[in-house]
Amino acid sequence: MIELNATLFAQILNFLILVAILRAVAYKPIMRILKAREDKIAESLNKADADAQKAEATLKGYQEQLAGARVKAQNIVDKAEKRAREDREASVLETRQEIEQMKKAAQAEIERERERAVEQMKSEVVALSIAAAGKIIAKNIDASESEKLIGEFIEKLDKNKIGDLPC
């Protein structure tokens, strides 16, 4: 039942052949693909790291730019506000001056009008007085006395008053 013979050597040979075949057919391709994948993964990881770093740098750059832009915009807004304020103040001042001028002009006009009215009144009063005097003279007073009366009447007229009325 247990007998050893040349089969033993044949089996060693068979097995060694099998090892050689398997090594060529299966083991080497598997190791090659494993190595390839390992390389690929390492490469991918490196690339991912590099990408992440690059992205971070880019983000930082953008953030800096953004901060810069914000400061710039604030400056511009500040400047614009300042200028607007100045403009407004200037225009207010100008308007005020204009109003002042207009007021002055109006006052001058009023003054002028009043003077003219006074002049007119004076002449009318003279004419009226003369007419009144004429009527009185015609009744009972001689010429010399009437002239004296008229002169007194006119003297009583103040420069700024007509009769007793304020002007």
Partner 1 sequence: MHEIGVREVVQVAGFSFNLETLYMTWIAMAIVILIAFLATRSLKLVPTGWQNAIEMVVTALNEQLDANMGKRGPMFAPLIITLFLFLLVSNWLGLIPLMSSPTNDLNTTLALALMIVVMLHVLGLYYRGWKYIKHFFEPIFPFVVINIIDEIAKPITLAFRLFGNILAGEILIIILLMLVPIWMPIPSVIWLAFSIFIGGVQAFIFTMLSMAYLAGAIHKDDE
Output the CA angle 17-20-21, nearest 5 degrees: 85
Residue with tokens 């247990």: 2
- Binding-site size for partner 1 (CB under 8 A) equals 31
Which of 38/94 has CB closer to partner 1? Answer: 38
User: How far separated are the first and last CA of the chain, in Å rounded?
Assistant: 164
| 96 near partner 1, rule: CB under 8 A | no
In the range 118-137, which residues lie near partner 1 by CB under 8 A? none
Residue with tokens 């060693």: 12
| 11 near partner 1, rule: CB under 8 A | yes
Which of 28/161 has CB closer to partner 1? Answer: 28
For residues 141 and 150, the answer to whether their CB atoms sit within 8 Å is no
Cβ 35 to partner 1, closest distance in Å?
11
In the range 143-162, which residues lie near partner 1 by CB under 8 A? none
Cβ 64 to partner 1, closest distance in Å?
41
* Site pattern 13..52 for partner 1 (x: CB under 8 A): -xxxxxx-xxx-xxx-xxx-xx-xx--x------------
Alpha helices in 1-27 (DSSP H): 7-22
Residue 108: strand, helix, or coil: helix
Which of 2/165 has CB closer to partner 1? Answer: 2
Distance, in Å, from the CA atom of 154 to the CA atom of 152, rounded to the nearest integer, reads 5
Distance, in Å, from the CA atom of 35 to the CA atom of 64, rounded to the nearest integer, reads 43
User: Which residues form the interface with partner 1 (CB under 8 A)?
Assistant: 1-2, 4-12, 14-19, 21-23, 25-27, 29-31, 33-34, 36-37, 40
